[in-house]
Structure 1
Amino acid sequence: MSSVLSPRNAKDQPRTTKSLSDSSPTTPSLTSRGLKHERLSRLDSSGAYDREAYDARRENRMAARKKAEEEAGCTDYKKMYEEAMSTNERLKSRLQGSKQELVLVQTQLEKVTQRKITMTERSNERSMLEKEKRIQTELKNENQRLKDENGALIRVISKLSK
């Protein structure tokens, strides 16, 4: 048994057919050439006019299909454009909201930083004031001691001068 592979349509799918010697007398052998011939013979049965009408109808069908595909393509592009524009607008509004939120967070951060600086400055001022107060207390104590010592010396000098 030998088999012959012949291309079928544009899909190039293999088709096996039996050779004339292998086929039974009840099954006719079918080849792509034979099928095409049968189709043409059916078309030519009424004459050349039918062939022209068939070709015209076929061209009309192809043109209508092509036009429908183009229209569908245009609507698809229009729909895609509208979707892209709506997405773009939505993202723009989100970006604007994010920018406003960023400005708000930055101002809050600046306030907190200022408070921290102010608290640090206050802490430094407090420690400086405590230091000055301690020095002032020490100076008052020393001043009082010197006054007492000066008073004692004055008494000693006054006793000696008598």
Structure 2
Amino acid sequence: MSSLPSHNKDPSRIRKQLSDSCPASSTATTKSLRHERLSRLGSSGSSDVSNDTSTNHAESYFLRRENRLSARKKAEEEIANNDYKKMYEKALATNQRLKSRLETSKQELTMIQDQLERAQKGGQNECGANVLEAEKKIKAELKTENQRLKDENGALIRVITKLSK
């Protein structure tokens, strides 16, 4: 018989093999093993039956308790895993949203920089054009005023000439 339990053996035999390999076995396990041995041999004593019943009740109690504890642990792990999964999905969605906003902001920044460059270049041309137009207007005004002053000067010279005669 191998020391490793196989899958097709019943749980009581597995427990027996494990307790045989462990030198410090509890009294409940010893009673359980004694019960199994007696039941296999077919003996039926009244004191053994009462021990059997209490041992079976204790075993079933501990088995049910283990099952409840393991089920609770599994449920808690699933809840924790679901919470982590939900938190991961939420963080992932937030990350995607922020990435798209960043991309949009980068595009807007590029467009605004292009517009600024064009405005600065165009502004220099417009400023130069505006200055040239202003200078042309001033020059035209000065020419007309100069012409008026020449005409006035000529008229004054004629008046003075007439008076001096």
**What TM-score do the two structures reach when normalised by structure 2?**
0.51
The answer to whether structure 1 residue 47 and structure 2 residue 57 are counterparts is yes
Q: What's the counterpart of residue 124 of structure 1?
A: 134
Matched, 1:75 2:85: yes
1:91 aligns with 101
Alpha-carbon separation, structure 2, partners of 1:138 and 1:64: 107
Of structures 1 and 2, the one with the larger relative CO (CA 8 A, separation 6+) is: 2
Q: CA deviation at 1:150?
A: 8.9
Structure 2 gaps, min length 5? 1-53
CA distance, structure 1, for counterparts of residue 126 and residue 149 of structure 2: 34
Measured after TM superposition, the shift of residue 51 of structure 1 is 1.0
CA distance in 1, matches of 2:57, 2:161: 153
Percent sequence identity over aligned pairs: 11
Kindly provide the amino acid, as one letter, of the partner of residue 58 in structure 1: R
Moved over 6 A (4+): 146-153
In the TM superposition, residue 66 of structure 1 has moved relative to its aligned partner by 1.1
> 5+ unaligned residues in a row in structure 1: which ranges?
1-43, 156-162
Tell me how many residue pairs correspond in the alignment: 111
Q: Deviations over 1:116-158 (max 9, x none)?
A: 54454344323311221112212442455577679989x9xxx
> 1:109 Cα shift?
4.0
Structure 1: how far apart are the matches of 2:77 and 2:149?
105
The corresponding residue for 1:106 is 116
Partner residue, 1:59: 69
In proportion to residue count, which structure has more helix?
Answer: 2
For each residue in 1:47-94, what CA deviation from the matched residue of structure 2 results, as whole angstroms up to 9, or x when unmatched? 121111110100010011111112222222222222222222111111
* Letter aligned with residue 106 of structure 2: Q
| SS of structure 2 residue aligned to 1:47 | helix
Report the aligned-residue RMSD: 3.4
- Give the aligned partner of residue 138 of structure 1: 148
CA distance in 2, matches of 1:149, 1:64: 123
Counterparts of 2:128 and 2:137, CA distance in 1:
14
